[in-house]
Chain A
Amino acid sequence: NAGVTQTPKFRVLKTGQSMTLLCAQDMNHEYMYWYRQDPGMGLRLIHYSVGEGTTAKGEVPDGYNVSRLKKQNFLLGLESAAPSQTSVYFCASTGRGGYFGSPLHFGNGTRLTVT
């Protein structure tokens, strides 16, 4: 039981390049999330999904796209990377949604640098 797995762990991009971050969970969770974490700003929600085939915008969605084609996977795409997207990206999942107070399970992050 691996929990939440993020790939890759590290990546360096040049401005304008594109990439996709992959999140996979093996807990059969319905809800999945992408956050970014920057010093002094805490975790900020980029996009989230409440089920297969559905996605929604969070607090800071600009410059990112997501897809949830399979229940266990949530992909975060950067179409044209910018230095402002240098950050640590965390994926999380939960089983019953926050209404029940179900805790989030996080991956160990992807450290992205855009030069």
Chain B
Amino acid sequence: SQKIEQNSEALNIQEGKTATLTCNYTNYSPAYLQWYRQDPGRGPVFLLLIRENEKEKRKERLKVTFDTTLKQSLFHITASQPADSATYLCALDPDNYGQNFVFGPGTRLSVLP
């Protein structure tokens, strides 16, 4: 069956450390992956997109990698801050038709001061 998994439901790290979140998928062949941030009581907000022909993408303190052989994307936040505490979701287009998106369950990140 098709599914998307994210490494853990919750992740606690110390301020200043690098947070690494994992997104694994099964029985999909996505052309790209997206990462979103969701704060409590709010809708998800788009952060980054990485395509299948890109190994790595960066935006400020964020870095995303995409390994189509391992069927995995890693999302890194360097020099993490308490303000980075949120739930992070990965998403992909299951058919690459551009008509719908499938989301992982999310990882709740807490950055402790």
Do most interface residues of chain B lie in helix, strand or loop, or is the interface mixed?
loop
In the docked arrangement, what's the CA distance between A115 and B34, Å?
36
Residues 70-96 of A, flagged 1 when their CB comes within 8 A of B and 0 if not, give 000000000000000000001010001
In the docked arrangement, what's the CA distance between A35 and B93, Å?
15
Q: Number of contact residues on A: which range applies?
A: 20 to 34
- Whether A98 pairs with B93 at a CB distance below 8 angstroms is yes
Q: Number of contact residues on B: which range applies?
A: 20 to 34
Which residues on A sit within 8 Å (CB–CB) of B42?
108-109
Q: Which residue of A lies closest to B48 (CB)?
A: A103
CB distance from B87 to the nearest CB of A (A): 10
Which residues on A sit within 8 Å (CB–CB) of B9?
40
In the docked arrangement, what's the CA distance between A101 and B29, Å?
14
- Whether B101 pairs with A33 at a CB distance below 8 angstroms is yes
B70-113 residues at the A interface, CB under 8 angstroms: 89, 91, 93, 96-106
In the docked arrangement, what's the CA distance between A31 and B101, Å?
11
Residues 51-87 of A, flagged 1 when their CB comes within 8 A of B and 0 if not, give 0000010110000000000000000000000000000
Instruction: Beyond the given A44-B103, A105-B46, please list 8 additional residue pairs across the A-B interface where CB-CB is below 8 A.
Output: A42-B103, A50-B99, A58-B100, A99-B96, A103-B34, A106-B43, A108-B41, A109-B41
**Closest 3 CB pairs between A and B?**
A99-B98, A106-B43, A103-B46
